[in-house]
Copies of this chain bind each other. A is one copy, B any other.
């Protein structure tokens, strides 16, 4: 049996710090944003981690998310919650990627069918460790489903707010998994405002993206896994669908931690933050050379997961993209839908629209010479494609009639 969930292991969190000012915050306390309203980052005694854990010891463990325990914030083993956070596979897609050397990291295999499970499993475990009994959160869908599943499992009460056009499947999934869920006539930041108001009144703990420090620690396991799966040699480029950007920020943090452990070298992938043209605040700020991104008005795209008009971690996303030599790229809905269709038909892999956006951006980058087809590239498919609408297939056959086999 997997003992990652049951074995006590040493932990190494020293403190938290403001991602903007560097101000220190005490570990093992409940925190939201820093005093200047920016995300807090968890810091570890990495020298001590390096003395306690080797890559070989890690390789001998089961490959799920909890094998990274020494680089995670949960102190007490009994606070771990799990629905089976497997290491997600890397699936090559040669045909729809136009011959490039492209691997899709298929995050749809995680509990509740999306990469949101990584962040929420950690946030809920930490909420449990720190005594939280009631959580609220705004969500475009998948994060709410992951929160509901983990919180119900450990008996924490949850209230979730979704934009009015959140896919029906997500809203229902959140409800059946034991949360109370409300549709709101607005976008995700309107939902966030309601959560913030309730939190200010002491009604619940606010678990919004980056507004508590632990989702990023869960998301950084994408970077840790990728390094281990590729033999501690990072890819040349990563295309990441970017809404709140927690995953991109998390991976960038993971790579730094791995280098300081001496497990990888200084080489970094170029990080491409992919957004939909109908909601591209990071792309606009990147191109304008800004450090922060203004709110995007009239946001619209088929890729609801990246329909995020304002990201509280905007400067962290932009910083990572620039340091890496990457770019922020916008793609239109028709290109997204075509990428999803092509990948399913040719490579047998059904992407979510946000995953399709990364493939569309990669194809465009290949066309413009931004990437070379010999480069190893990883695209993130952040959720199972099964949650999203697919075209009708209206073929009918009458078994009582003579069948024209030539026409089938």
Contact = CB atoms under 8 A, between A and B. Distances in A.
A344 B392 CA distance: 29
A35 interface: no
A349 interface: yes
A164 to B, nearest CB: 8
Interface stretch (A145-153, A261-269, A293-301, A357-365): A145-153
- In this complex, the member of A172, A186, A191, A390 whose beta carbon has the largest number of chain B beta carbons within 10 angstroms is A390
Interface stretch (A12-20, A21-29, A105-113, A216-224): A105-113
Interface string A181-198: 111111000110110011
Nearest to A389: B172
- In this complex, the member of A91, A152, A171, A348 whose beta carbon has the largest number of chain B beta carbons within 10 angstroms is A348
Interface of A: 1-2, 63-64, 82-84, 86-91, 106, 109, 111-113, 148-153, 159, 161, 169, 171-178, 180-186, 190-191, 193-194, 197-198, 201, 203, 229-231, 341, 344-350, 384, 386-387, 390-393, 395-400, 403, 405, 408
Contact of A396 (B1, B152, B182): B182
A269 to B, nearest CB: 16
13 contacts: A2-B90, A83-B89, A83-B348, A84-B89, A84-B109, A150-B348, A159-B408, A169-B390, A176-B393, A177-B344, A177-B345, A178-B345, A186-B399
Contact of A172 (B90, B198, B392, B408): B392
Contacts of A177: 344-345, 348, 350
A350 B113 CA distance: 10
Contacts of A82: 91
Contacts of A183: 395-397
Given A84-B106, A152-B346, A203-B405, 15 more contacts: A86-B88, A152-B347, A152-B348, A153-B348, A175-B393, A176-B344, A176-B345, A177-B345, A177-B348, A181-B395, A184-B398, A185-B399, A186-B399, A198-B405, A198-B408
A230 B83 contact: no
A350 B173 CA distance: 8
Contacts of A172: 390-393
Contacts of A203: 405
Contact of A1 (B151, B173, B229, B397): B229
Contact of A348 (B175, B178, B186, B396): B178
Nearest to A109: B109
Contacts of A194: 397, 399, 403
Given A86-B86, A386-B169, A396-B182, A350 B175 contact: no
Contact of A161 (B109, B191, B397): B397
Nearest to A94: B153
Contacts of A185: 396-400
Contacts of A178: 344-346, 348
